[in-house]
């Protein structure tokens, strides 16, 4: 039965193949997720996979494989070792995979893959509890400046949240006391419990609390307002000269795979990006669709790397 | 509408054929997921999530919740029968449950686990029904210093679970040290990884557990060479005496489990450890523990089920995750277009109450499923043990590999399996080592978070009331042997 369906697929793909000269997959494709089942990166890979299958974008079966560990390095290490140059391989990449080698130079990530396309950007929002005295970013900074350094404690749910607080710290010249938690959920819990004064995090975790009026959003770290949060002013609007800071998520193939394969996968990802199912996923997750084609993706990544190194002091 | 009115409406929704089927499927899958060591409920739900897109969210959440609490039943099976904990929260069950199986009492062990789980699951759900919003609000008072104090209280038990105080402490500290391998949770620096990428995430808890208990037991049995006597399966169900001995441990385990479950940073695993330790502390004859005491099965099994119900409290009433699994269920709600948060109870009352009602039903289903199974599986032990070695080892390897598809984890399994055999050979208890690894990361995070908050002043631990009380309890637990003689005469008089 499976053989038959596959044969039918091949037949269906024939006329297409004649049109699109160049590479196309001829055997099963492996979509490697270098993160554990259930995280944000995993979920997005599963949504992309579902769109590829439902909308029949690829003529062969695509299997999802989780290879978690080492901030993406274990999964990409697996690709570099076992699927070297194999164009029948897709890898989910994100800001974390880029930060990993900055922190631990032994862990190789983006240098081992060929980025194909970026799909989304995730924002960082500044939150305080609804009963906090600060009504704006200006209020908060004024108060922080009047007190000794590190008087204001922030909960951060991971390296990227910590970097967002560093952005604020650098832009305002105030040192904050950053308390690291294992997840955005834990950082939120610490804020709700009043153990810290403020938090920086992705809108997703805080959205329910924001809608219920339990927390207040004082600003978002980007150049223009986020369409999903029209009432939240940017840092720049409030006179804080912070660079645009967002986390990206995209797709790559192995480093030595042929350029024709990269072009093929870019075509597939463009169709994925245009799918209403992906738009809906972004809407529910309060994220921004950001299809960046491969010609711009490399420059974007180089730019991000520079910003990350600056923020991490490496 | 009162809670009762809501609950009745929930039952009328949960008792429809569609939701009932989902509830049954959920607990059945949970039961199976529980048996395999590597795949936990969190992974199972994440894998099913994309398949349920477009389905009715209430059905899906009923299914996911069923997987969650169902897995707490399933993990018991392999723990008792073959000394391989199927779930991290059933490690403590292995200690006495496996000894009971060796004595031919696998049936009562599994039976009391099922009954205890049912009572705890039902009482826990009752707690969720009546107290969720105020409890969740109270749990927020637990910040880093409070978690630190709670972990210290748990660590005082290191010596208590071992065969000797010194061995218990050494094994416990070794576990804590293993817990420091990998990326530092505060600064992101790699520790003890020897430039190995695969060590960046540290040693997975399930690898150490399955290696020490499962592989270690198999190797030890092989090394002994002597054929293990085929266990004589006596009574299949717990006797009246078993029931009398387990009654209070089940209730205490439920209490401990529910409270620990409600706290967002602690879950079923820590709950089961604490419940076991509490039983050992209050027992008239603590030396029976580790040798097949039925209280040592009843308490942790009740605690892990109560904790699963407790973890739903912050999830449903505040929209913050109460455990790794509820974090994924929160993600599922988002995918269904439902925004988890403090308004869930009012805005999505239909869903919340149908899920709560389904938890009562699911626990009954699990009891009905597990009591006959207890007898059936207990009979498995009539098979000569030499035929069981290969499938047990296969279960260990498959379980560990399936966790993160990592061959290195299998090598760790072999290495720690050898250690497990040596520990068994020289009568070192393994539970303190596991306890060290479980509590280590939370201990470190909470300590460093607290000291960051206080600008490095340790006073934060004693100036906050909850933390001070917990630390005082820990002090009493440690010094208890010193002043017990003072009370001894009076105790004898009773």
**Per-residue pLDDT tens over the stretch A119-131:** 999 999 999 999 9
Asked if B169 contacts B494 with a C-beta cutoff of 8 angstroms, the reply is: no
The shortest CB-CB distance from B328 to any of A38, A68, A196 is to A38
CATH architecture of structural domain A125-238: 3-Layer(aba) Sandwich (3.40)
Residues of B in contact with A206 (CB under 8 A): none
Domain boundaries, chain B: 3-481
Asked if B159 contacts B481 with a C-beta cutoff of 8 angstroms, the reply is: no
Closest CA to B205 of B366, B413, B478, B485: B413
Mean model confidence pLDDT for chain B? 87
Q: Would you call A11 an interface residue with chain B, using a CB distance cutoff of 8 Å?
A: no
Asked if B438 contacts B431 with a C-beta cutoff of 8 angstroms, the reply is: no
Closest CA to A60 of A276, A273, A270, A261: A261
Asked if B272 contacts B90 with a C-beta cutoff of 8 angstroms, the reply is: yes
Closest CA to A152 of A121, A190, A178: A178
Residue A305 has pLDDT above 50, yes or no: yes
- Confidence bin at B250 (pLDDT 50/70/90): very high
Q: How many whole angstroms separate alpha carbon B171 and alpha carbon A210?
A: 46
- What's the predicted TM-score (pTM) here? 0.87
Closest CA to B85 of B205, B257, B176, B181: B205
ipTM for this prediction: 0.87
DSSP secondary structure letters along A124-150: -EEEEETTSS--SHHHHHHHHHHS-TT
Residues of A in contact with B326 (CB under 8 A): none
Instruction: Measure in Å the smallest separation between the Cα of B232 and chain A Cα atoms.
Output: 42
Which residues, in sequence order, are CB contacts of A151 under 8 Å at separation 6+? A144, A177
Which residues, in sequence order, are CB contacts of A156 under 8 Å at separation 6+? A162, A164, A165, A178, A179, A180, A181, A187, A199, A200, A201
Rounded to 5 degrees, φ, ψ at A242 are -105, 145
- Alpha helices, H only, B319-384: 324-335, 344-347, 349-380
Q: What is the pLDDT of residues A158-217, one digit of tens each?
A: 889 999 999 999 999 999 999 999 888 889 999 999 999 999 999 988 988 999 999 999
The shortest CB-CB distance from A192 to any of B43, B140, B201 is to B140
Decide if A183 and B200 are in contact by the 8 Å CB cutoff: no
Half-sphere exposure of B83 (CA within 13 A, CB side): 29
Highest mean pLDDT among A77-81, B152-156, B351-355: B351-355
Q: How many whole angstroms separate alpha carbon A309 and alpha carbon A163?
A: 10
Place of tokens 């986390």: A247
Nearest-Cα residue of chain B relative to residue A109: B197
Q: What is the pLDDT of residues B53-94, one digit of tens each?
A: 778 899 999 999 999 999 988 889 889 988 888 888 898 999
Q: What is the pLDDT of residues B302-343, one digit of tens each?
A: 999 999 999 999 999 888 887 888 888 988 888 888 888 888
Rounded to 5 degrees, φ, ψ at A221 are -90, 70
When mean pLDDT is compared across A227-241, A291-305, B46-60, B108-122, the lowest value belongs to B46-60
Asked if A132 contacts A75 with a C-beta cutoff of 8 angstroms, the reply is: no
Domain boundaries, chain A: 28-121+247-312, 125-238
Which residues, in sequence order, are CB contacts of A147 under 8 Å at separation 6+? none
CB atoms within 10 A of CB A2: 7
Eight-class DSSP state of B214? I
* Mean local confidence (pLDDT), B165-177: 88
Q: How much of chain B exceeds pLDDT 90, in percent? A: 44
What residues form DSSP beta bridges with A154? Answer: A178, A198
Rounded to a whole number, what is the distance in angstroms from the first to the last CA of chain B? 50
- Confidence bin at A15 (pLDDT 50/70/90): very low
Mutate to test the interface with B, among A30, A109, A195, A309 (most CBs of B within 10 A): A195
The shortest CB-CB distance from B404 to any of A69, A188, A195 is to A69
CATH superfamily of A28-121+247-312: Bordetella uptake gene, domain 1 (3.40.190.150)
Instruction: Measure in Å the smallest separation between the Cα of A118 and chain B Cα atoms.
Output: 21
Q: How many whole angstroms separate alpha carbon B267 and alpha carbon B275?
A: 12
Closest CA to B404 of A103, A85, A37: A37
Residues of B in contact with A192 (CB under 8 A): 140, 318, 320
Q: How many whole angstroms separate alpha carbon B80 and alpha carbon B214?
A: 11
Closest CA to A72 of A89, A93, A103: A93
pLDDT at B284: 87
Q: What is the pLDDT of residues B329-384, one digit of tens each?
A: 988 888 888 888 888 888 899 999 999 999 999 999 999 999 888 878 877 777 77
- Confidence bin at B494 (pLDDT 50/70/90): very low
Residue B167 has pLDDT above 90, yes or no: no
pLDDT at A9: 56
């Amino acid at each position: 039965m499976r053989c038959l369906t596959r044969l039918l697929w091949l037949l269906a793909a024939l006329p297409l193949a004649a049109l699109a000269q160049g590479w196309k997959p001829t055997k099963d494709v492996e979509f490697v997720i270098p993160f554990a089942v259930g995280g944000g990166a995993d979920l997005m890979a599963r949504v992309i996979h579902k769109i590829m299958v439902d909308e029949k974008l690829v003529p062969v079966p695509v299997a999802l494989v989780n290879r978690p560990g080492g901030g993406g390095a274990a999964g990409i290490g697996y690709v570099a070792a076992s699927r070297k140059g194999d164009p029948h391989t897709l890898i989910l990449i994100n800001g974390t995979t880029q930060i990993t080698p900055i922190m631990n130079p032994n862990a190789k990530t983006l240098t081992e893959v060929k980025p194909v396309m970026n799909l989304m950007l995730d924002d960082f929002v500044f939150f305080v509890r609804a009963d906090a005295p600060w009504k704006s970013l200006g209020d908060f900074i004024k108060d922080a400046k009047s007190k000794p350094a590190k008087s204001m404690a922030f909960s951060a749910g991971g390296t990227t949240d910590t970097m967002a607080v560093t952005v604020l710290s650098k832009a305002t010249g105030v040192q904050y006391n950053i308390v690291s938690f294992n997840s955005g959920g834990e950082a939120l819990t610490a804020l709700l419990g009043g153990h810290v004064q403020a938090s920086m995090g992705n809108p997703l975790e805080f959205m329910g609390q924001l809608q219920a009026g339990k927390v207040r959003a004082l600003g978002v770290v980007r150049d223009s307002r986020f369409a999903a949060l029209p009432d939240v002013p940017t840092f720049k609007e409030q006179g804080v000269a912070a660079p645009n800071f967002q986390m990206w998520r995209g797709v790559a193939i192995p480093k030595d795979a042929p350029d024709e394969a990269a072009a093929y996968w870019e075509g597939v990802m463009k169709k994925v990006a245009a799918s209403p199912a992906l738009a809906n996923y972004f809407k529910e997750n309060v994220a921004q669709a950001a299809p960046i084609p491969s010609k711009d993706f490399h420059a974007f990544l180089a730019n991000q790397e520079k910003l990350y190194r600056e923020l991490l002091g490496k | 509408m009162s809670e009762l009115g809501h609950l009745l409406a929930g039952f009328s929704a949960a008792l429809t054929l569609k939701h009932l089927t989902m509830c049954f499927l959920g607990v059945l899958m949970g039961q199976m997921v529980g048996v395999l060591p590597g795949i936990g409920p969190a992974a199972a739900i994440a894998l099913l999530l994309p398949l349920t897109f477009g389905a009715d969210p209430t059905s899906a959440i009923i299914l996911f919740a069923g997987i969650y609490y169902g897995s707490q039943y399933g993990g018991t099976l392999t723990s008792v029968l073959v000394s391989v904990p199927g779930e991290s929260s059933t490690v403590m069950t292995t200690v006495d449950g496996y000894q009971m199986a060796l004595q031919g009492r696998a049936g009562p062990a599994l039976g009391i686990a099922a009954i205890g789980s049912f009572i705890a699951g039902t009482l826990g759900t009752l707690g969720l029904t009546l107290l969720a919003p105020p409890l969740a609000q109270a749990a927020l008072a637990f910040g880093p210093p409070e978690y630190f104090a709670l972990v210290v209280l748990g660590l005082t038990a290191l010596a208590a679970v071992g065969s000797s105080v010194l061995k218990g402490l050494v094994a416990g500290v070794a576990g804590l040290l293993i817990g420091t391998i990998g990326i530092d949770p505060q600064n992101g620096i790699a520790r003890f990884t020897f430039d190995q990428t695969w060590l960046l995430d540290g040693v997975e808890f399930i690898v150490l557990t399955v290696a020490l208990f499962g592989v270690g037991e198999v190797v030890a049995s092989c090394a002994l060479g002597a054929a293990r006597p085929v266990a004589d399966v006596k009574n299949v169900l717990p006797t009246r005496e078993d029931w009398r001995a387990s009654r209070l441990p089940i209730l205490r385990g439920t209490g401990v489990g529910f409270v620990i479950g409600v706290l967002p940073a602690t879950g079923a695993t820590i709950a089961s450890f604490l419940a076991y330790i509490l039983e050992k502390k209050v027992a008239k004859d603590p030396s029976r523990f580790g040798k097949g005491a039925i209280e040592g099965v009843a308490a942790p099994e009740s605690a892990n089920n109560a904790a699963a119900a407790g973890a739903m409290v912050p999830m449903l009433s505040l929209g913050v995750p109460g455990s790794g699994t509820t974090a994924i269920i929160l993600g599922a709600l988002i995918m269904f277009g439902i925004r988890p948060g403090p308004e869930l109870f009012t805005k999505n009352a239909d869903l919340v109450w149908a899920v709560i009602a389904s938890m009562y039903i699911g626990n009954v289903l699990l009891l009905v499923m597990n009591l006959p199974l207890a007898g059936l599986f207990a009979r498995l032990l009539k098979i000569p043990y030499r035929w069981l070695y290969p499938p047990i080892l296969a279960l260990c390897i498959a379980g560990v590999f399936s966790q993160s598809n990592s061959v290195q984890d299998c090598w760790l399994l072999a290495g720690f399996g050898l250690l497990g055999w040596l520990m068994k050979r020289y009568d070192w208890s393994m539970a303190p080592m596991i306890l060290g690894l479980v509590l280590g990361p939370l201990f470190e995070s909470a300590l460093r978070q607290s000291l960051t908050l206080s600008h490095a002043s340790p006073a934060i631990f004693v100036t906050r009331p909850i933390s001070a009380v917990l630390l005082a309890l820990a002090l009493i637990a440690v010094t208890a042997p010193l002043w017990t003689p003072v009370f001894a005469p009076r105790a004898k008089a009773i």
